[in-house]
Every structure is written in C-alpha cells, then in structure tokens.
Structure 1
Amino acid sequence: MQSLLVRPQTVTICPQGYLNAANASEFQNQLINAVTCEQNAALLVDMSRVESLDSAGLMALVATLRLAQKLSKRFTLCSVSAPIRIVFELTQLDRVFEIFENAAAFESKNA
C-alpha cells in the first residue's frame, strides 16, 4: 500500500510600513487575491515589518479572515509587534485571529 502526503500550499504576505486608510484597499485586494487562489490552502501574514495599523488596516484583515472562513481556508498572522498586538487585544481580535510568534512557529505546527 502506498501513502501519499499532500501538503497544502501556504502563501506568505509581508506588508511593511503603515497599514492605514491610504493603502488598506490595496492591501485587502492583495489578501483577497491570495485567499481566492485555488492552489492556496492557507495564508500567513507576516506582520514583522508593519509599523502601525489603523482601523482601515484592521478591517482589511478582518474582511479577509471572514472570506477565508467562508472558503474553508486558513488565515493566520505572525510576528506581530507589541504595539500592534495591543490593537488586537483592545479590540479582542487576538481571540479571533490565529497568531503565531513567528513564521518558524507557524511552520513547526504545520510540519
């Protein structure tokens, strides 16, 4: 008997700088394209280079999370800095999003 191990493809997006009203729409489009791509079973957003996050940036993440859930795809965050993590905690979205300490932690859980 032969066994086959299929690993779903995970796409990593690494936004940088400010995620705010000025670029949230473009950011959300990038996320949606990644989530709706049939080859992708999971999307990891590496937040290590994000300097600030406003409500528009946060809503782009929430909207994409909802879409991923509808499509039965995994949507996770990693490397969220302390100041950005506070935004998630204050809005209690840290309970909604799956957040990993870093990309290596995500990969080790999915190995």
Structure 2
Amino acid sequence: MHAVLDYPKISVISPQSCLNATNALEFETNLTKALAQDGISFLLVDLESVESLDSAGLMALVSTLKLAHKLQRRFSLCSVSPCLKIIFEMTQLDRVFEIFEGRAAFEAACLSMEEVTLN
C-alpha cells in the first residue's frame, strides 16, 4: 500500500488509491513510524496517487501533524490533486498543512532552508 523512500533526514511516504476508514489506522501507523525514526527531520507525504480521502484519512494526517510539532519535526504534503485540495480548503486545513505543488517544490524549499542555515 505504501512506498517509503528514505533520504538523509527526509522520509517520503507515497500512499496509493484511497485513504479512508479501512486503511487510516495502518496509514497513521506508517506515518508515525517514519516520523519517529532517529535522524529524520522532515516527513513528506506525496499524495499524487491518492484518489480519495475521507475524514479518517484526514484525521491520520492531522494526528501526524500534531506529533511532528511535538517532536519538532517538519511534516509536509505534496502533489495534492484538485479533488483532494477541495477537502483541505473546505476544512481550512490548507492553512494548517505545509502543502507543496510537487516533490520538486519541496526539494527546492529544503535546499533554500539549508542555504539559509549555512549562511
């Protein structure tokens, strides 16, 4: 169901198909494990292959965001399709989550953060 790619300090999770009550607990568990790994500073959830999202899937994302704040780690979303974007806008969670157009935009933001840190 999930493909997990690990980069130094960044973990990317790419869920597939639907995030709903059937798989939300497993999804949240995978997110929590990825976020809790030693050395991870950033967790990116790439929603490119997600076709639908219900309230249980959304709550898995919200719970992980809360944990990320608690652990002082960055949690971001990318590649949110127009139909999913509506859900985030209607719930006003588009103002809460850091959402990037795609992985390239996320990587560019990470690089610019590193440059700011190094200078």
TM bracket, shorter-chain basis: over 0.9
* Greater relative CO, 1 or 2 (CA 8 Å, sep 6+): 1
SS in 2 for 1:80: coil
Q: Quote the offset at 1:99 in angstroms.
A: 0.1
Aligned length: 105
More helix by share: 2
Is residue 42 from structure 1 mapped to residue 32 from structure 2 by the alignment? no
Query: Which segments of 5 or more consecutive residues in structure 2 lack a partner in the other structure?
Result: 1-7, 112-119
Q: Which residue of 2 aligns with 1:69?
A: 69
Could you tell me which amino acid in structure 2 is paired with residue 15 of structure 1? P
Q: Which residue of 2 aligns with 1:12?
A: 12
Percent of pairs with identical residues:
59
Which of structures 1 and 2 has the bigger CA Rg? 1
RMSD: 1.2
- Write out per-residue CA displacement over residues 29-48 of structure 1, whole angstroms, 9 at most, x where no aligned residue: 00000111112111000000
Q: How does 1:93-104 map to 2 (within 5 A)?
A: 93-104=93-104
SS in 2 for 1:40: coil
Q: Which residue of 2 aligns with 1:5?
A: none
CA distance in 1, matches of 2:38, 2:54: 30
CA distance in 2, matches of 1:29, 1:60: 9
Question: Structure 1 residue runs of 4+, over 6 Å off?
Answer: none
CA distance in 1, matches of 2:107, 2:73: 16
Q: TM-score, normalised by structure 2?
A: 0.86
CA distance in 2, matches of 1:109, 1:97: 15
Query: Which segments of 5 or more consecutive residues in structure 1 lack a partner in the other structure?
Result: 1-7
SS in 2 for 1:76: strand
